[in-house]
Structure 1
Amino acid sequence: MAILQDNEGSLNAMSINSKNDTNKFRKNPYPGEELAALNESPATPYDPHAHRNIEHPTTNTETLIHILKGCLGTGILAMPDAFKNSGLIVGTVGTFLIGILCTYCLLVLIRCQYEICKRVRKPIISYPDTMKYALLQGPPFLRFATNLSAPIVDGFLIAYQLGICCVYTMFIAENINKVIYDTWHYEMDTRIYTLILTPLLIAITLIRNLKLLAPFSQAANFAMFLGLGILLYYIFQEFPSIGSVNFVGSPIRYTFFIGTTLFALEAVGVVLTLENNMKTPKSFGGVTGILSVGMSTVTVLYVIMGFLGYVKYGEKVYGSITLNIPETILARLVKLIFAFAIYITYALQCYVPVDIIWMFYLKERFTKRENTLLIQYGLRIICVIITILLAIAIPYLNLFISLIGALCLSMLGITFPALIEICILYPNNFGKLNYILLKNVILIIIGIFAGVLGTVLAITDIISKSQS
C-alpha cells in the first residue's frame, strides 16, 4: 500500500523543490533562459544529484523496500484474473515481458529526466515538465504540442489516480458485500454499498495533514502482507492439477491481460519519487540497480500470485481473488483486512489529483480569497463524488482495472518515455543505423496500439455487461 504514500511523496518531492519554477515555466512556455540552457554546453558541468536538498534522504535498502511495498497493491489481487484472460503459459511469459518493458521504460524516463535537469541546471523537474522541456528541443514538427504537453500528461496522471480511487471504491464495496452475504446471507447490489461508502470516503479525504494518516498507513501495509499470506494459505489447500486450466487463452482477451498487468506493475509516481529522494541516486538505475532488482522481485511475485491463483480457481476466478476464498471466519477477516487497507490508502491516492488540480490550475485564481480553504475542501469532495459516480456507473472491477491500465499506463509508462528520449537525442544521437530511434518508434506504436485497442475492448465489454 506504500504506492499511495509514494505517489503522494512524489508530488511533494517535486512540488517542494521545483513547484515555483514549474508554475513560472507553465505560464511562459518559451522562457529565454530555459531555451538558452537547452542549447548551450556550459563550461561548468552541472550535476543535479549534487544540488538536491533533501531533508531525509533514503538509503539503497530503504528505497528497495519502498519499491517492493509500493508495487504490491490491489493489482496483485487481480493477477489471477489477468491469467484467466491470457492462459497460464502466455500469462507467465507475458508478465515477465511486460515487467521487463515497464522497467526499461522507467529507466529511460529517469535517464532523460536527469539529462534535462543537467541542461536546464535544475535539481528536479516534474514528469509533465520533462515532456515540455523535451518537446522544446525535439523535432520541429512536434513542437506545436509544447503548450499542450504538460496538461496532457497531467490529464493522464489525474485520470489514472482517480481511476485507482474508483477501483479502490469498488474493491471495498465488493468485499464488504461478500462478507455480509457470507455472514448473514443478505444480498444487496454492490452499488448501494458504494453509495453508502461516500461519507466515509469524504471524511478520510478531508484530512489535509497526511502525517495524521501515517500510523494508519503503516497498519495498512502490515494488513496487506498479512492478507497475502492468508490468501496463499487458502490457495494451497487442495491445490488442483496444472492441466485443469488453459495454457493459452483467446488472443482477443490478451488486451485485458495487458491492461491488468500494466495496472499492477507500472508505478511511474513511485519510481520518480524514490529516485528523487535517494541518498545515492546513481545507484538507482542500470541493469543491476535498485529499480531493476526491485521490479524483478515484484514481477516474480506477480507471476507467482497469477499462476497459483488461476490454477486454483480457474475460469471462476473473480476480478479480485479475495472474492474466491471460502466462507470461513478467517476468510471474512481477510476481506475486511484488505478493505481496511484500501480504505486508509484511498485518501493518499486521492491526494495526488487534488494537488495537481489545485497547484497548477486553481491556486493562482483562488489563493487570495477568504474562502480558499473551503474551495480546497470542495475540490476534495468533488473528486470523491466523481470516483463514487464512476464506480456506480461501471461496477465491474476487473474491466475497470484493464481500462485504466490500457488507457493511462500505456501512455505514461511506455509511449511518453519513448517520445521523450527521441526528443532528448534529436537530431543525431540515435546510434548506429538509428537503432535507438527505431526502438522508440516501435515502443510508441506498441503503447498507442495497446492503449487504443485495450480501451476500446474494455469499454465495449463494459457496455455489453451493462446491457445484459
Structure 2
Amino acid sequence: MTEAKDYETELSPLLQRRQSHTSLNEESLASNTETTINLIKTCMGTGCLALPFACQQGGIVLFIIGLFAVGAWNVYSVHRLVQCLSCFPKSRQLSDATSSTTRINSAQEPQIPPEGIAVMSQVTWIAFGPLGVQVLDGIMMVLFFGVITAYYCAVLTFLGDTPLSLGRIFDSGLTCIILTVLSLVPHVGALKYASALGMIVLSLTFGVIFVYGYSGNNKEGATLNMWPSSIDGLSQWFGVIVFGFGIVPMTYNYRSSMQRPEDIVKVTLHAMFGTACSYTIIGWGLYALFPSLQGDVLSELPRHGVFPIATRLAMVTVVLMTAPFLIVPCAELLEGKWQHAGRLFTRLTICGVSCTLAILFPHFVQALSLVGSTCVAAVSFCVPALLHWKLVRGQSEQEYKRLAKVDLFMFILGIVLTAISTYVLLS
C-alpha cells in the first residue's frame, strides 16, 4: 500500500489510519509555523463572506468578543482531545502522548480498540466502546452533509446573482452533476491545488468588494449595530462564527503531520488568535462599508458588470473544487458501511441529498448559520468535552475531579447553545 500523504491526513478527519512518525520522512512533516498557517487556511474559506452579516446581526462588540471567545473554546477542545491520548493502553500509546500530559493511572487497563481505525475513533472506543464509535460516525456524517449542503447553497446563491443562472432548480441539478463527477476522483489528493486556488480567488474577491465599498456603493450615514437586536440575530451570529472555526475534528490529523506533535495546542492557540484578528478586520471592515447588507457580502456587488459577474463565477468555481474535499471522505465512510455500494452510487447519493436540502434554504448565509449552530458546534464543543469527561470522571485524584467538572460544564454549555440557536434558526 502506498504511503499516506499530508492531504490525506488533513482532509479525512474520521477516516485517517493512525501511523507512527517513523513511517514518514522528517522533511514531509510540517513545522509549527507551517501548521499554524495551514490551520488558518482551513478556517478562512467561503464562510468569510458571511462575517460582515454576523457582525451586523450580533453587533460589533459581541462580534469581536465572540471571535476570540470561540477561538479560545476551540483551543480548549483541542487540548482536551490531546489529553485523551493519555488514556491509550500502554501497548498503543502514541510516541508523544505523555510528553505534554500526565498519564491517567487506572487500576484496570482500558479495552484495546481495533487496529486500522482513526485516532478519534480509537479514543471514542476506549471511552464508550463500539457503540460510541457508531454514534461518532453518525455525528460526522451529519457534519459532512451539513457542510456539503452549505457549499451547495453557496453555489446556488452566487450563481443566482449572475445572468448565467438557469433558475434555482436547474442550477442545483447542474451543480449536482458537476460535483458528482469531480468527487469520482480516487482520493482528495487529485484536487490538492484547489486549496491554493481558493485562497487566491477569495483574496481577489475581497479586493473587489472593498473597492466597490470605498467607491460609494454602500449607504452613507447608516447606523452600525453595537449589540444584537434580537435573539434571531444572536443565533445567526453564533452559527456563522462557529462555522468559521471548524478545526477541532481535524486535531489528530494535523497533529500527526507535525514535526513536533506535542506543540499542537500551542500552535492551535496561535492559529486561533491569528484567525480571530483576521476575522475582526474582515467582518467589521466590510460591515462598515456595507451596513445595510442582507446576506453574504458578495450579494452587495452589482448584478451586472464584468468584475462583479467574474467574481461570482470565480467563487462558484472555487466552491465546486472545494466541496469534493468533504464529499470524498463522506463517501468513503458510507462505502465502509455499504460494502456493496459502488463509488458512483455513494457520490451521487451524497450530492443528490445535499442538493435537495440546499434548495430548501433561500440563501447561503441561512444554511451556513444553521450548519454552524448544529453540526460544527456539536462536534467542536460537545464531543471533546464529553470524551475527556468520560475518561477522567472515575479518577480519584483531585486534579482529575476538577477537570471532569470543567468538562461537564463545557459540555452542558455547548449543548444549551447548540439547542437554543438551532431552535431559533429552524423556527
TM-score (norm 2): 0.84
Amino acid of the residue matched to residue 314 of structure 1? P
Say which of 177, 199, 202 aligns to 2:177: 199
SS in 2 for 1:179: coil
- CA gap 1:214/1:94 in 2 versus in 1, 3 angstroms: closer
CA distance in 1, matches of 2:220, 2:277: 21
Distance 2:207 2:222 in 1: 25
Contact kept in structure 1, 2:57 and 2:237, CA below 8 Å:
yes
1:187-209 deviation line (CA, Å, top 9, x unaligned)? 76434322232221211112224
**Amino acid corresponding to residue 88 of structure 1 in structure 2:** I
Change (3 A) 1:394 1:128: farther
CA distance 1:380–1:340, change in 2 (3 Å): same
Give the count of matched residue pairs: 395
Tell me which amino acid in the other structure corresponds to 2:40.
L
Letter matched to residue 328 of structure 2: Y
Report what 1:412 is aligned to.
379
- Tell me what 1:103 maps to: 75
Secondary structure in structure 2 of the residue aligned to 1:17? coil
Match of 2:316 in 1: 339
Structure 2: runs of 5+ lacking an equivalent: 1-5, 95-116
- Aligned-partner Cα distance in 2 for 1:433–1:380: 44
1:210 aligns with 2:188: yes
Contact 1:310 1:317 in 2 (8 A): no
The Cα of 1:268 is off from its aligned counterpart by: 2.3
Question: Corresponding residue for 1:352?
Answer: 329
Aligned to 1:37: none
Alpha-carbon shift at residue 131 of structure 1 (Å): 2.1
Q: Deviations over 1:76-113 (max 9, x none)?
A: 1111121222112111212221111122212221232x
| Residue 157 (structure 2) aligns with | 174
Distance in 2, Cα, partners of 1:132 & 1:72 = 32
Pairwise CA RMSD: 2.7
Change (3 A) 1:348 1:61: same
Structure 1 gap ranges (5+)? 19-49, 136-145, 182-186, 367-371, 461-468
Residue in structure 1 matching 2:145, options 120, 140, 162: 162
Q: Does the 8 A contact of 2:70 with 2:241 survive in 1?
A: yes
Equivalent residue letter for 2:317: F
For residues 9 and 311 of structure 2, the distance between their equivalents in structure 1, rounded to whole angstroms, comes to 26
Distance 2:400 2:82 in 1: 24
Letter in 2 for 1:17: R
Confirm whether residue 53 of structure 1 aligns to residue 32 of structure 2: no
Give 1:151's aligned residue: 134
Given residue 253 of structure 2, which amino acid in structure 1 is its aligned partner?
A: T
C-alpha contact 1:400 1:458 (8 A) present in aligned 2: no
Q: Secondary structure at the match of 1:180?
A: coil
Aligned-pair identity in percent equals 17
> d(CA) in 1 for partners of 2:344 and 2:92?
36
Amino acid at match of 2:155: I
* TM-score under structure 1 length normalisation: 0.77
Instruction: Give the drift of 1:313.
Output: 1.9
> Does the 8 Å CA contact 2:153/2:367 hold for their aligned counterparts?
no
Offset of residue 282 of structure 1? 1.5
Cα distance per residue 1:268-323 (max 9 Å; x no partner): 234332111111112222xxx211111110111112222122222224331x2111
Q: 1:212 to 1:452 in 2, by over 3 A?
A: same
Flag the structure with higher helix content. Answer: 1
CA deviations over 1:239-262 (Å, ceiling 9, x no partner)? 777972111113412122112111
Question: Can you list the C-alpha shifts for 1:130-189, whole angstroms capped at 9, x where unaligned?
Answer: 222123xxxxxxxxxx443212221121111121111111111221221217xxxxx764
Residue deviations 1:373-407 (CA, integer Å, cap 9, x gap):
xx122111111111111111333322211211121
